[in-house]
Structure 1
Amino acid sequence: MIREEIRILFKKVLKEMKIGDFEIVIEHPEVLEHGDYATNIALVAAPKLGRSPRELAQEIAEKIKEQKSKFIEKVEVAGPGFINIFLSRDYLVNEFIEVIKQKEKYGRGDELKGKKIIVEFTDPNPFKEFHIGHLYSNIVGESISRLLEANGANIRRVNYQGDVGMHVAKAIWGMEKKKASLTVLSKKTLEEKMEFLGQSYALGNTAFENNKKAKEEITELNQKIFDLNKDIKDIYEKGRKWSLDYFEEMYKRLGTKFDSYYFERDSAEVGLKIVKEGLKKGVFEESEGAVIYPGEKKGLHNRVFINSKGLPTYEAKELGLALTKYKDFEYDLSIIITGNEIIGYFKVLLSALKEMEPELGEKTNHIAHGMVRMSRGKMSSRTGTIILAKDLLDEMKSRVVILMESSEIQKVKGVE
């Protein structure tokens, strides 16, 4: 693509100037007026050459101009030695024409042909609302999936959802405390049901953190949910179904179709077995009645994989998930997309996976994206301070409609 062509051009010029072999980074400037692309190569090379960065940048820029590239209109030096590159209008127009001609085929290649890649993203948890953080993950995951597909890879989109765990126990505890009739709730809209689940979770979480008795009740409830105890089976299954039905509506609205869905309940037993085997091998250790991965010995941090109640934690379930995904789809690469707040968690998890399943550990890649933050700080389902994805999408749609109906848009209708 054009970025690579520019990099090759600069590499050729540097070779002719006998400057040396430096890594050439081509980036998009943050300010449009600074060009379509820019490089700091002069700033990188100048100190090692004993040269002034700006003078070196000027010299490189002149040499680039002499190449008379068909896709570069002009080259400018800015600041202490940045080189800004402006693409030619003819090149852009010709590329635009190619986009129109080729349509969805434009930019496609076969570099990854034959490669099987599984991409896990979005991952909302049942009993909690679908907020703009999930929307962010979905956009990143779907974009990466499409880029890989465009390069010939066989992509499987998967979604991993937490249908067991303390968040479920907190939500069901809250549901019970709100004393809402399941019969009455069943008659409400899906959005109203999800709002109720979100409120119930926030209520349960607040009680868990501030009330000792409530904490004990929720902990006991967590075991019942894992065992699918008959006392909570009905409320659990209804709440789970409401959540999954709502999530499916969101995926359709976003244009994402997952090939497979995975759930914590299903991966829990597999993960539990792996950790117990690892305990025998010395990969895991017992600590205060729990089973941990001693990450501190690897320069990381320790994490619990089986809690003191004998239940597999989220970490153990992730190990089970890796094996389950590979059993279903023997991938060459597994990509897991999440927010960057759990980078440390994944470093420990992948370290444990590489010890237990070296091949799968090497094939697994965690991609972390930024977090959605508001002026008042980070969003939190625990406290109910979230922005729903639905509300943001509705607001965007509303604003687009207003723009379409405005007089300015009407003026350019003849261009269509």
Structure 2
Amino acid sequence: MSETVIIIGASHSAAQTSVSLRQGGWVGGITVIGDEAVLPYHRPPLSKDFLSGQKAIDDILIRPAAAYAEADIKFHLGTRVGSIDRKNKTVLTDAGDVLPYTKLVLTTGARIRRLPVPGVGLNGVYYLRDTADVLSIKAEAETAKTAVIIGGGYIGLETAASLRKQGLEVTVLEAMPRILQRVTAPALSTFYKRVHEEEGVTILENVMASEIQPADGGGLRVLTSCERTLAADIVIIGIGVIPNIELAEAAGLSIGNGIEVNEFCQTSDPDIYAAGDVTWHYNPIYKTHVRLESVPNATEQGKVVAAHINGTPKPYNSLPWFWSDQFDLKLQIAGLSNGFDDVVIRGDIETGRSLAVYYFKGDRFIAVDAVNAPRDFMFGKMALTKGTNIDKTRIGDTAHDLKSCLVDS
């Protein structure tokens, strides 16, 4: 039997792993199995350019079909894997096919978190996770006038911005006391609330949706915990995701807050790897285990998997970074702000739209959120990657050049 790598999940990680395997010298078979009917695509545009109609499906493909064909990478699309037989090194698909592997890579990603309230199954209520979701939302948005978005995280706010730009009246419900509460400082939450309201979006914080009902005469109405009733032609739910660990768990692999992997993205079975949103991995920069929902992480782990399978191991040691586009705001995040106890703001956060929020734990710089401030993002990313500290008594004053704010660790 010729050697074969099977990749389960046609994701960002799958696209990178498959191509990097071939580029790195793998001469055996490469098969990618995905439950969607399309080739791997960029997910971030789903709530942005794809939803707004600026890009079509072909425009968001990570690579065209011809690139995979040239690399002799085979796809089984619209196919699910039901189980993994580690002893015999095979996977069983829902089509009844038993496929042997030499190495197996799990890039199963994450699925939407469901909202546990009555009415979520009604027509006009959507989640936003894949192309099918967005195509349905786009079709509704062509005639809709009002939208209620449940969830004030990045996906919810990006969706709000896209629909608002299409002319819809948009209301965002956030169950926590502030939008973006889990991922950013209060000052940046206030900033984003201001900008969205300046653009015509209504933000309701500390408000939960309690039920969705059909409205008399058509459309929907959303009942809230504060006893408000909101009319909507369309309701979109974005309250987070859950890692798809079930296949790995059933196969007996070690599980944490995701599939546990080592620095080479190997699971507890050395012939099975995992990469992307589903992994629970150690980050050497922050000296802790994390699970990251991040395209850069998915891409880097794909490269790590391919290098290890090809016998040229390169341990994972990347700095986490992220981005979000809303209206005219380009947010770039370097590092993880978890555990911060102080922030320093550089720029005008009260009335402007270009600024950076530097996060500190004690006197140690740990992350930066840069809004329309690419120099601050690159500066912060460089400092974190090199382990260089930043003087928090200077960084908030724009009269000081960024480089002059660096201090010895």
Q: TM-score, normalised by structure 1?
A: 0.19
Structure whose CA Rg is larger: 1
Q: TM-score, normalised by structure 2?
A: 0.20
Q: Which has the higher helix share?
A: 1
Q: Which has the higher strand share?
A: 2
